């Protein structure tokens, strides 16, 4: 089973699955050797087990790897890893031409011509390297985000055409040339026919031939006539209609001989829309498989086979002649030599038979031979019989009846098998080796069948069912200390259901996540994996539990012992005691408490106090303080200056009597609040009130916070 994070050949790391076809699945992967992203196409198991197919597939892919053209998806590598056969290709971010047509209905004329020219240029490069695609169709054309058109699946198409595979694997029959539909020889002109069908669909929004099944569509390619393009789209120029018509001729010799010739006419159609320059050659080859030749024609073929053969293109009078390849001469010579041998043997046999007959008649007339014993005059001489043994014509293998495949996706295994058996008792129903993940089908249900519902197949076919393993597990991300709304959105985007549970908490601010159920992973190497649709409970803080909070008493003016007693009665504790001068409170009285009276705090909170030493004769508290003392206060920044996803440099400044000093500098993000700026200790230059101001990336923030500084012993 291919999963994200898996390595193939210790080089390609699977990132994500991007698509699936009849023969292979396509994944986005990262090549760690060249540090780039690629597309890796991995053959499905039913083709990987066919050694003959794999051999042809690898050979074709390796030959295509030599192609390099802007309009062809480059093939970088081909290989196998523990039974996985794959091709590594250029990763093209874009959309297939099929989806592009479906979105727009039909394309504008200039747009369609531009795309067709780029496809033909890719085909031309391949044909020049003696590579024929054999499966040109909109599904195999990718339009990148920058508008570049690229042809893909070169090697895989040819490999498929040389093996017996299902229709799903080869491609859509709607774009098949007549010679391919008949199972005959295909060449560059077969690709041109398929491009003609693709242009027809781009300009009209529909394929030229459609039917109830693949057989009927194939027959239409062989003997049907498509509706003229201009009847479906009057905006199509006459010249372009003729170009498409020439590409889609039934006989290959009536089509464009090469992609370069097609490109030339397509470019002319942009400038001269109504010009009469598209010439469709008259066909000279009959589609009939049996041709009766006269003696003169036979002698002409024999003599021609022994001399060099030259083919002259009617459309290339000024370009010289084009000779038939040596391979074609040898093939023609071999055919003629075989026919000549058959004729000679037949003539010798006929001559011998005639000679025997004449000798017998002469001998009978003159009674030369004594055919009987004791009765020469009356015995009738028997004519020797000639027995001719005629071999019976080979009988065709019985063809199984065609049966429509029922829809079994969404059914459990047993019900699906019963449904298929009712359609045909001869069906061989098997299950795929491994289950696959599916967001659509629950675990245990059939999620895929190798023949789509409604397809007509032989009644003794093998049907492979793929069982769903349910939704693919997803990693539970860490959302602790994030706002509830942010955490909820992130989890729902991953496909989880979210429930909320409120809980009081003194350390986590209100509306922030305390924890989750299930809990987050503590070891990054062992993440918590949950199926899509699983429920994740967010435990959200409502702030401190008010019912359990204690109210801070007013300690100002009390003695140190009285203050301690008042705190104990309130469920609190006395913290640090310091001595500072005060002109407002008498000597020995509490002149400062670090938590304002009436504020709610948790039980056993320690409250720091300062005891007045009276009015000093020298009003210079800044200088008179011992070195081990300073002026300190605490401030909590409650506002989050960032929007979700934002971050920046945060500066805090203390201002006292017109003087400012930096008290904190940190790089923070939205997720750091409010914990990062809670109970920040502030050190100033004198006792009294101060103002704390905040700056984000050197820009002042609108709010400010008050703080009171008192003398405390430095720690």
Low-confidence stretches of the chain (pLDDT < 70) are 22, 60, 63, 155-171, 283-400, 616-625
pTM: 0.42
**Would residue 601 count as lying in a domain?**
no
- 286 occurs within a structural domain: no
DSSP calls for 351-388: HHHHHHHHHHHHHHHHT-S--SSS-TTTPPPPPPP---
Q: Which helix (H) or strand (E) holds 400?
A: none
CATH assignment of the domain containing 247: 1.10.510.10
Same domain, 255 and 167: yes
Same domain, 143 and 177: yes
In a domain, 61, yes or no: yes
Task: Tell me phi and psi for residue 564, to 5 degrees.
Answer: -60, -40
Length of the chain counted residue by residue = 715
358: domain range? 301-309+323-370
Do 267 and 119 lie in one domain? The reply is yes
Q: Which two tokens stand for residue 290?
A: 């049996």
Number of domain units in the chain? 6
119 domain residue, yes or no: yes
Burial code of 661-695, b = ≥16 C-beta within 10 A, e = fewer?
A: eebbeeebebbbbbeebeebebebeebeebebebb
- Residue range 661-707, pLDDT digits in tens: 888 888 888 888 878 788 888 888 888 888 888 888 888 887 788 88
Same domain, yes or no: 154 and 234 = yes
- Judgement on whether residues 125 and 49 belong to the same structural domain of the protein: no
| End position of a domain, from candidates 518, 546, 574 | 546
Tell me whether residue 422 is in a domain: yes
Q: Which helix (H) or strand (E) holds 164?
A: none
Question: Rounded to an integer, what distance in angstroms lies between the CA atom of residue 120 and that of residue 188?
Answer: 11
501 and 462 housed in the same domain: no
Of 264, 262, 127, the closest CA to residue 188 belongs to 127
Q: Which positions are catalytic?
A: 135
Please report, for the domain that includes residue 27, its CATH number: 3.30.200.20
Same domain membership, residue 135 and residue 59: no
For residue 138, what pLDDT is reported? 94
Report the chain's C-alpha Rg in angstroms: 45
* Domain match, 234 and 359 both: no
Query: Does one domain contain both 85 and 114?
Result: no
Residue 53 sits in the same domain as residue 132: no
Closest CA to 572 of 588, 544, 551: 551
Are both 655 and 517 inside the same structural domain? Answer: no
Which of 467, 482, 513 is where one domain is finished?
467
Q: What per-residue confidence (pLDDT) applies to 83? A: 83
Residue 111: inside a domain: yes
pLDDT at 288: 38
Residue 702 lies in a domain: yes
Residue range 582-625, pLDDT digits in tens? 888 888 999 999 998 988 888 889 999 999 988 765 444 445 56
| 386 within domain boundaries | no
**Residues 52 and 17 grouped into a single domain:** yes
pLDDT of residue 498: 94
- Rounded CA gap, 320 and 596, in Å? 105
Q: In this structure, what CATH number is given to the domain that contains residue 532? A: 3.30.10.20
713 is in an annotated binding site: no
**Which residue, chain included where needed, has tokens 């498989």?**
289
Which of these three, 436, 451, 467, is where a domain ends? 467
Task: Judge contact between 88 and 12, C-beta under 8 A.
Answer: yes
């Amino acid at each position: 089973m291919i999963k994200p994070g898996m390595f193939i050949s210790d080089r390609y790391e699977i990132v994500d699955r991007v698509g699936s076809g009849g023969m292979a699945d396509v994944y986005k992967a990262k090549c760690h050797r060249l540090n780039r992203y690629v597309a890796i196409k991995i053959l499905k198991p039913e083709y990987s087990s066919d050694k003959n197919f794999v051999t042809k597939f690898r050979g074709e892919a390796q030959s295509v790897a030599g192609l390099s053209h802007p309009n062809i998806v480059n093939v970088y590598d081909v290989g196998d890893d523990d039974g996985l056969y794959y091709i590594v290709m250029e990763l093209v971010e874009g959309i297939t031409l099929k989806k592009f047509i479906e979105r727009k209905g039909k394309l504008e004329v200039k747009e369609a011509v531009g795309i067709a020219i780029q496809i033909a240029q890719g085909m031309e490069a391949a044909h020049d390297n003696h590579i024929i695609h054999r499966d040109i169709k909109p599904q195999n054309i990718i339009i990148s985000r920058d508008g570049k058109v690229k042809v893909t699946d070169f090697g895989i198409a040819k490999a498929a055409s040389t093996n017996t595979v299902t229709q799903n694997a080869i491609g859509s029959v709607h774009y098949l040339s007549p010679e391919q539909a008949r199972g005959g020889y295909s060449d560059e002109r077969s690709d041109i026919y398929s491009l003609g069908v693709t242009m027809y669909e781009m300009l009209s929004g529909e394929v030229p031939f459609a039917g109830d099944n693949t057989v009927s569509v194939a027959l239409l390619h062989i003997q049907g006539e498509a509706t003229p393009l201009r009847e479906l789209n009057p905006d199509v120029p006459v010249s372009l209609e003729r170009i498409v018509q020439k590409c889609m001729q039934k006989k290959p010799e009536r089509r464009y001989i090469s992609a370069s010739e097609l490109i030339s006419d397509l470019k002319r159609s942009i400038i001269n829309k109504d010009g009469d320059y598209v010439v469709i050659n008259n066909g000279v080859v009959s589609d009939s498989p049996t041709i009766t030749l006269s003696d003169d024609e036979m002698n002409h073929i024999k003599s021609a086979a022994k001399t060099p053969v030259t083919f002259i293109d009617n459309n290339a009078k000024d370009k010289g002649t084009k000779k038939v390849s040596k391979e074609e001469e040898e093939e023609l010579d071999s055919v003629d030599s075989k026919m000549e041998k058959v004729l000679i043997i037949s003539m010798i046999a006929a001559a011998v038979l005639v000679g025997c007959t004449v000798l017998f008649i002469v001998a009978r007339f003159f009674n030369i031979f004594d055919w009987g014993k004791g009765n020469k005059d009356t015995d009738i001489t028997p004519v020797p019989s000639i027995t001719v043994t005629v071999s019976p014509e080979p009988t065709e293998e019985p063809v199984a009846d065609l049966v429509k495949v029922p829809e079994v996706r969404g059914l459990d295994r047993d019900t699906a098998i019963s449904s298929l058996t009712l359609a045909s008792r001869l069906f061989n129903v098997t299950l795929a080796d491994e289950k696959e993940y599916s967001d659509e089908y629950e675990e245990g249900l059939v999620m895929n069948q190798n023949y789509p519902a409604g397809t007509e197949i032989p009644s003794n076919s093998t049907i492979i069912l793929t069982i769903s393993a349910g939704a693919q597990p997803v990693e539970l991300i860490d959302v602790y200390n994030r706002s509830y709304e942010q955490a909820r959105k992130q989890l729902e985007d991953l496909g989880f259901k979210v429930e909320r549970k409120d809980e009081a908490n003194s350390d986590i601010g209100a509306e922030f996540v305390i924890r989750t159920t299930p809990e987050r992973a503590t070891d990054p190497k062992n993440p918590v994996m949950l199926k899509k649709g699983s429920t994740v409970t967010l435990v959200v803080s409502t702030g401190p539990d008010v019912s359990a909070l204690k109210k801070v008493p007013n300690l100002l003016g009390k003695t140190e012992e009285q203050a301690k007693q008042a705190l104990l009665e309130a469920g609190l504790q006395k913290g640090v005691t310091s001595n500072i001068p005060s002109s407002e409170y008498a000597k020995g009285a509490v002149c400062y408490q670090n938590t304002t009276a009436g504020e709610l705090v948790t039980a056993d909170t320690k409250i720091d106090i300062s005891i007045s030493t009276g009015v000093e004769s020298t009003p210079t508290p800044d200088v008179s303080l011992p070195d081990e003392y300073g002026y300190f206060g605490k401030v909590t920044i409650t506002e989050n200056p960032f929007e979700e996803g934002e971050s920046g440099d945060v500066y805090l400044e203390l201002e006292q009597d017109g003087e400012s000093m930096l008290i904190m500098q940190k790089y923070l993000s939205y997720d750091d609040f409010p914990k990062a700026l809670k109970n920040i200790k502030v050190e100033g230059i004198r006792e009294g009130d101060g103002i704390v101001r905040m700056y984000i990336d050197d820009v002042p923030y609108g709010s400010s916070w008050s703080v009171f500084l008192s003398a405390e012993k430095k720690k």
